[in-house]
Structure 1
Amino acid sequence: MHTENQSMPPSPQRAVVSVVIPVKNDSAVLGRCLRALGAQTRPADEIIVVDNGSSDDSVRTAEVAGATVIYCPEPGIPAASSRGYDFATGDLIFRLDADCVPPESWIASSVNYFAHHTDVSVLTGPARFIDGPAAIRVPLSAIYLSIYTLMTAPALGHRPLFGSNFAMRREVWQSVRTSVHRDDPELHDDLDLSFHIGERHHVQYLKSEAMGMSMRPFRSMSSFRRRTYRGFRTVTVHWPRDFPPHRWFRMVTLQCRSRLASLGLTHEH
């Protein structure tokens, strides 16, 4: 998406921001998402909609909103998301889904946090349901995200990324782009990325920016079962290398080496 300041080159202090949205037949909600991105207090420098074989008006909706549309013929969200990250030119790469509605300060808060915390490589955050029965939106979103974290954090050894609400430095993606499982449509791309990123990069939780999202994961039991299956599959596809005791030991070893290096207590042989 083009902004009024696009003709002016960014200053060295101003991070360039790319937003990636994987899409397949999401025209009905994509327009709402893009309007919310257009209302950001700190606009994105580019918004990339990755079309994964839509048969509806998703591409037209994206183009009308001024987003850049690229195509991913390989099936699945992992392939589409990865293609978007590859295409992105920003110093910071943000990710959300087509059914999301970001708060107005979503980009600004994350950019500001990255600027003041150079040790943080990745930010992720919470979400809230914006449709479905009003009485259960808050408790259901809290339960949903808590279960996701409780089920995956022990396998990872750290907090997982939440694919509807995260941002990473460009160099982080460059360091893992050849190792992620981008060709397996039956994986959760955010959980897979968590395995590859979290071992060597600091993931921070930014709780102030709750992402608005659809309750569609709960609209059918088959959809929920499929998400659950993909979660278990994403964990086990990383075994035996990332079987929890092995992964935890590597992470502790890396952290100890990093700490010793920061204190100047390591030496080369």
Structure 2
Amino acid sequence: MPTISVVIPSRNDAPMLAACLAALQRQTRRPDEVLVVDNGSTDDTAAVCAAAGVRRLFLSVPGIAGATAAGFDAASGNLLARLDADSVPPPDWVERVERILVAQGPMTAVTGPGDFYGGNRLTRWIGENIYIAGYIHVVGAFLGHPPLFGSNFGMSASMWAQLRPLVHRDLRRVHDDLDLSYQIRPWMSVLYDPTLRVGVSARPFDSWSGLKRRVVMAWQTFDLDFRAESPRARRRARRRARRRAGIAPPDQPAEA
């Protein structure tokens, strides 16, 4: 019987974290562990975790990449699911993540999009149709497989064990999901399921400065990863591995 841990990095997001934890308490398949990585919060994050009865890991050094990696390292489940503090998963989210991961095997991750809440109609449309859709399709075409969306993905602990030495956890200005996506090895797959959705806050689009910061972090992440392994070499190794395994080039979406 698989066990599943939900890892949530959080920094000064107590109200949104409370909503996320409440949504996890309403799951049709309750997670075996909820682990909040408190990334140096100075608000009521500790009290929110205590009230919800979840495990809290305090990490004083700021940085989403380090917080995510520390959470995966500390999680006890053999399946790992990832949400952000502002994610609001539907009641069947854990159940579906578990079902897909078990069906697809230990070297396949699963990810899905987000439905933005808050902001205004324009910012929500930009978030869903340009930001997320562009990330999935443009970056996916570049990588040769769908990228992981940090607010909504899962993988096996055995897959993480192979990836953990490769991620850049000590650098603050790194997108953890983009960096982790780049480290996916040729024998691994990512399934993108457009029906595996969670609510996510539209706050990144509240200001141009916030959006610019994310774009700059993406550029810095790619620059770092390109220096370690060129995109051409990465794609060539992936094509060779898939040919040897008799796997068709594109990763196909998981069934709903």
TM-score normalised over the length of structure 2: 0.91
Which of 211, 223, 226 does residue 224 from structure 1 map onto? 211
2:47 aligned partner, one-letter code = R
Q: Which structure has the greater CA radius of gyration?
A: 1
User: How far has the Cα of 1:79 moved from its partner?
Assistant: 0.5
1:50 alignment partner in structure 2: 37
Which of 115, 119, 129 does residue 132 from structure 1 map onto? 119
2:65 alignment partner in structure 1: 78
Which of 229, 245, 253 does residue 258 from structure 1 map onto? 245
1:172 aligned partner, one-letter code = M
Written as runs of structure 1 = structure 2, the 5 A alignment for 1:139-150 is 140-150=127-137
1:16 alignment partner in structure 2: 3
1:35 alignment partner in structure 2: 22
User: How far has the Cα of 1:138 moved from its partner?
Assistant: 4.6
Query: Any gaps of 5 or more consecutive residues in structure 2?
Result: 248-256
The RMSD of aligned alpha carbons is 1.7
User: How far has the Cα of 1:31 moved from its partner?
Assistant: 0.5
Alignment partners' CA distance in 2, 1:50 and 1:139: 29
2:149 alignment partner in structure 1: 162
Alignment partners' CA distance in 2, 1:158 and 1:208: 18
**Are the structure 2 counterparts of residues 209 and 154 from structure 1 closer, same or farther at C-alpha, using a change threshold of 3 Å?**
closer
| 2:236 counterpart SS class | helix
Alignment partners' CA distance in 2, 1:196 and 1:140: 25
**Alignment check: 8 A CA contact 1:48 1:70 kept:** yes
Identical positions, percent: 38
String of CA shifts for 1:122-178, please: whole Å, max 9, x gaps.
000011112122466356412211121244224322110000000000100101111
The alignment covers a number of residue pairs equal to 247
Alignment partners' CA distance in 1, 2:61 and 2:228: 27
1:94 aligned partner, one-letter code = A
1:102 alignment partner in structure 2: 89
Alignment partners' CA distance in 2, 1:198 and 1:217: 30
Query: Any gaps of 5 or more consecutive residues in structure 1?
Result: 1-13, 261-269
1:249 alignment partner in structure 2: 236
2:140 alignment partner in structure 1: 153
